[in-house]
Amino acid sequence: MSVHQLARATVLIAGRVEQLFTDKHIYLRRSTCSDIALAALLRNACRTSRAIALLARGGYGSNALALTRSMADIWITVRWLTNKDTQFRTRRFLGFDSRQRERIIELLGEYYPAVNLDRFADNDRHDQQAREYPKWDTWGPGIRRMADEDEALETESEGVTSPRWTHDVTFFISSYHLHPTSLGLRHHFLQAGDTFDFQPRHGEDQFANQGLVSTLQCLSRSASRIGLFWGMNAEDALSSLLEKYVTPVIKPAE
């Protein structure tokens, strides 16, 4: 399957996920913060999936794969939030988000004192959450420990759908290569004697394919998990889409 076919499949499945949840006419419960956190993560996952597909289509495969880190992080976070102690965990998660926002305002105030920061002000609920959560650099046990936690909500995921695999492969590939400032840096090296230019020297299809497949896996697992937590039957519909669009890439027909 070509990069463009896989990118189209990614956009299609993101749209199907959005339709699946909006057709259920879900109303977020006022009595729980878990709905707010999970809904935000799912919305972000769908939007990030579309961004990755757009990069892959444009020939920016390494950039698309680097962004897959966010998709892996979302899936592992969704799984950990819904696994147990959900209200406590999601409250910490939202508190961390509020504290991050306050930290940005603190930094802007320190380095740009002339800037009007009123437009960054948030509502009282977020202010209260930020006060309850003083840290701005961490909120959970770390992505590795989150992925390693034993499954408590459903049958243990195995293979390429497990959070451990997602951390060890998807998260590692997309995160590790961010350290030299960008995945695929070696593709930009010029040889001594070459004329300096900005023309691409290597194709990035392998990066794009890896990023798109990983994106589809993380998006479908996140949506399935949230659907399970909310009492929806989303697993079968999403599995059939993956079987049609992703399995041929992972396991090519003989």
* Domain residue limits, the chain: 9-84+142-163+178-186+203-250
Q: How confident is the model at residue 121 (pLDDT cuts 50, 70, 90)?
A: low
- For the segment 58-76, the average pLDDT, to the nearest whole number, is 92
Q: How confident is the model at residue 191 (pLDDT cuts 50, 70, 90)?
A: confident
Tens digits of residue pLDDT in 32-56: 789 999 999 999 999 999 999 999 9
112: its two tokens: 């740009």
What percentage of the chain exceeds 70 in pLDDT?
82
| Burial annotation 14-39 (CB, 10 A radius, 16+ → b, else e) | bebbbebbeeeeeeeeeeebbbbbbe
Burial class, 239, CB count within 10 angstroms (exposed 0-12 / middle 13-18 / buried 19+): middle
Q: How confident is the model at residue 216 (pLDDT cuts 50, 70, 90)?
A: very high
Helix (H, G, I), strand (E, B) or coil at 89: helix
pLDDT of residue 157: 63
- Name, of 2-11, 107-116, 123-132, 227-236, the range with top average pLDDT: 2-11
Under 8 Å between Cβ of 197 and 211: no
Higher pLDDT, 19 or 159: 19
Rounded to whole angstroms, the Cα distance separating 117 from 66 reads 32
pLDDT of residue 201: 73
Which residues, in sequence order, are CB contacts of 204 under 8 Å at separation 6+? 59, 60, 61, 62, 184, 187
pLDDT of residue 102: 80
Q: Which of 64, 47, 46, 48 is nearest to 56 (CA)?
A: 64
Q: Is a pLDDT exceeding 80 seen at residue 117?
A: no
- For the segment 233-243, the average pLDDT, to the nearest whole number, is 78
Under 8 Å between Cβ of 218 and 71: yes
Q: Which of 77, 61, 78, 73 is nearest to 211 (CA)?
A: 61
pLDDT of residue 212: 94
Indicate the range of 54-63, 149-158, 166-175 predicted with least confidence. Answer: 149-158
Q: How confident is the model at residue 253 (pLDDT cuts 50, 70, 90)?
A: very low
Query: What is the amino acid identity at position 238?
Result: L
Tens digits of residue pLDDT in 132-141: 655 656 677 8
